[in-house]
Amino acid sequence: MGAVGDTLLPATPGSPGAGEVGIGRFVTTLLNDCHPIEAAEAVRAELRGLEERVRELGGSRFEGWDAVHREALLVEREAVAFSATPGNGRLHPYRLIKSLVLLGYFTSEAGATQALRYDPVPGAYHGQVPLAPGEHSWAL
Amino acid sequence: MTNHPTTPGAQANSFDAIVIGSGISGGWAAKELCEAGLRTLVLERGRPVEHVKDYPTALSHPWDFAHRGRLPLAVTRANPVVARCGAFNESSQHFFVKDQDHPYVQEKPFDWIRGYQVGGKSLIWARQTQRWSRFDFEGPAREGYADWPISYDDLAPWYSHVEKFVGISGHRDGLETLPDGEFLPAWEMNAVELQARRGIMKAFPGRSVIQGRCAHLTAPQPHHLEQGRGRCQARNQCSRGCPFGGYFSSNSSTLPWAARTGRLTLRPHSVVESILHDEATGRAQGVRVIDALTRQTTDFFARVVFVNASCLNTNLVLLNSRSRRFPAGLGNDHGLLGRHVAFHNYRGTLRGRVEGFEDSYYSGRRPTQPMMPNFRNVGRQEMEFLGGYMTFFNAHRLGWAQGNVTRGVGAGFKETLSRPGPWMISMMMQGETVPRHENHVRLSADLKDAWGMPQLITAVGYHRNDDLLTRDFLEQGQELLAAAGAKDIVTQDSGQAPGLDIHEMGGVRMGRNPKQSLLNRWNQLHACPNVFVTDGACMASTGSQNPSITYMALAARAAHHAVEELKKGNL
């Protein structure tokens, strides 16, 4: 799970990847505590499916595979996940993983303070502030 | 066991005034009564919450929360009602009542959201404040669904009185449909909201887009600093409690102020079982309290009683105050107690996207949003439906959450998510509902809560009038958003149960005719004049405004009247 997270949101200049903020542990906690058992099972099946696909493509494990291959595999997975319309009304498990990775990363200390701009006590609201090219969003 | 006022030991339990409830209106009653010289007992059923000291999450970071603000399934499954409330999350849950602790009976679906602690819902309220206009008092009377015994002119000086102390941010817009108040500087609008405002007001002359008015100290005055409160820091994390005292709550403002007089006794963990009525005098003599922790019963005595237990609980206490004189509940000679309960309609929402403005952003987190006062049936009946609605909207740029619906993997994707996304406008309604006799609350004959109090049955639902009003809002909303420059406009009628507005009102309505109402023009029970009701229960109609500032004004006005009547020997 950590490797999936780190592939989705890798280290970039200025901020670490999701793998460095304990994303695997976070996603597991959220799945166990905040989602029904079926969701956690579907996610586990999804991860198993990913590992199978890695072997099909000649790799051994997702974690440790090179970044180009990892990314390509997730892109392939997204093509399926984003066009799927499951009968039970639930999102494809890959999309649940992705949403939890995003939540876990952008609300982590490193994610919020380095990938985004974190201002806990702004002091005032300014309605029209010029946005410079490349400037990041507020974390909250 | 009844402790008569002359029973030895009862002196310690005797006060000049009792206030039931320490929330937004009870706190005001306590402040006014204490300032006027009355030794006042405030009874709060919940636990103590001391300003700043008891706000455990006020300065927490997102990563301090195990679930980053989300709630475990164990909590949401056990408490499906409160889990539907948008303000109920990992950072604020300790200020909300859990369904399982306080059961009630939904004869029709009704989401009853409560805050049982010192300060009540004044800790977690949305802080939006607008004055009623004369149209809101006169319209219902004209159409025959309420008989307000007061006018806007009666209440205007009391709005001023409470607004100054509370600290209300707003702009003097000069609108008869939403009178100006005593304002601190207004919050800014962002570029897209300003465009929206221009577009809407050009396309719809006569309709106004104004900045939201709210109970936040944008420029604290000396008397705010004297309360120990400071400038709002634009954090918008208010439901955690504010360590800066930037917004108004009983905890930060009225209760400490009352305590400074030396005349306040605040008793938490005090469930009021009933108001005690003395048949000989025709007056209430006091209140019976069940200690929430020990279950011990104690009677407290006073010359006046203010019932501010929050709308439905005020109804419950009065219904449970049965005596030989009032077998159907205190003041209930005509069966109207608990009837004509109404609420605000929140069913309709819209959103749309706005192109451009890529170089414009904002900083800080604003605790209010632009709004439009009601523009329907103002001064005359024009529409197929009765009443009107307020419209709120805001524009914002999408953040990283856009990634939930966007394909993308890797560094480029992460970079895109880290930058502000496209602009969106979200719009919501706050619709008046017409109080109906059949919408009521009553006591369960057999079900009791953990303190032996009868559970409340809520029988409050929608009417065709609400469907028509919702439809009009959604139609108008599309035109408004199009004029605002929005595209791909989406409408939704959530069909949600009443209650999530948390603006339930009525049951103990004011009125001129004692045969058709419970309270007179001073919020006194017609049939028991030393009992005053100044929370949401007193409302004869709902208007379209956020009601709390009106409750505060009514409470202050009624408290002053109570003091005058006591001085004259009438009470």
Give the chain A residue whose CA is nearest to the CA of B396.
A127
Angstrom distance (rounded) from CA B272 to CA B292 = 10
pLDDT confidence of residue B38: 98
Residue of A nearest to B62 (CA): A107
In chain A, which residues have pLDDT < 70? 86-89
DSSP letter string, B204-234? STT---B---BSB-SS--HHHHHTT-----S
Question: What dihedral angle (degrees, nearest 10) is formed by the CA atoms of B53, B57, B58, B62?
Answer: 160
B356: helix, coil or strand?
A: coil
First to last CA, chain A: 25
Which of B388, B387, B441, B502 is CA-nearest to residue B145?
Answer: B387
**Interchain CB distance below 8 Å, B67 and A34:** yes
Identify the pLDDT of residue B89. 97
Show the tokens assigned to B404: 């939930």
The pLDDT of residue A89: 67
Closest of B472, B441, B270, B433 to residue B339, by C-alpha? B441
pLDDT value, residue A116: 98
Instruction: Spell out, as residue ranges, where chain B has pLDDT lower than 70.
Output: 1-10
Residue B173 backbone dihedrals phi, psi, to 5 degrees: -95, -15
Please give the Cα distance from B243 to B123 (Å, whole number): 12
Kindly report, residue by residue over A64-95, the tens digit of the pLDDT: 999 999 999 999 999 999 987 766 667 899 99
Chain-chain contact of B365 with A8 (C-beta, under 8 angstroms): no
CA angle A130/A134/A135 to nearest 5° reads 50
Out of B73, B410, B419, closest to residue A33 by CB: B73
Minimum-distance CB partner of B188 among A95, A103, A125: A125
Q: Which residue of A has its CA nearest to B191?
A: A128
Other Cβ atoms within 10 Å of B170 Cβ, number: 26
Q: Which residue has the tokens 């409408």?
A: B491
Distance from CA of A99 to the nearest CA of B (A): 5
Question: What is the C-alpha separation between B136 and B284, in angstroms, rounded?
Answer: 32
**B62, A138: Cβ pair inside 8 Å?**
no
DSSP annotation of B248: -
Q: Which residues of A touch B397 (CB under 8 A)?
A: 137
> Chain B residue closest to A119 (CA)?
B364
At residue B1, the pLDDT reads: 37
pLDDT given at position B12:
86
Q: Inform me whether the C-beta atom of residue B185 falls under 8 Å from chain A C-beta atoms.
A: no
A71 Cβ contact partners less than 8 Å away, ≥ 6 residues apart: A7, B409, B410
> What pLDDT score does B477 carry?
98
Q: What is the pLDDT of residue A69?
A: 96
Cβ burial of B224 (10 Å; 0-12, 13-18, 19+) is buried
Taking only residues 58 to 117 of chain B, the set having a beta carbon closer than 8 angstroms to any beta carbon of chain A reads 59, 61-63, 66-74
Backbone angle region of A94, left / alpha / beta, with phi > 0 → left and psi within -120 to 50 → alpha: alpha
First to last CA, chain B: 26
Tell me if A125 and B66 make a contact (CB, 8 A cut-off). no
The one-letter amino acid code at B282 reads G
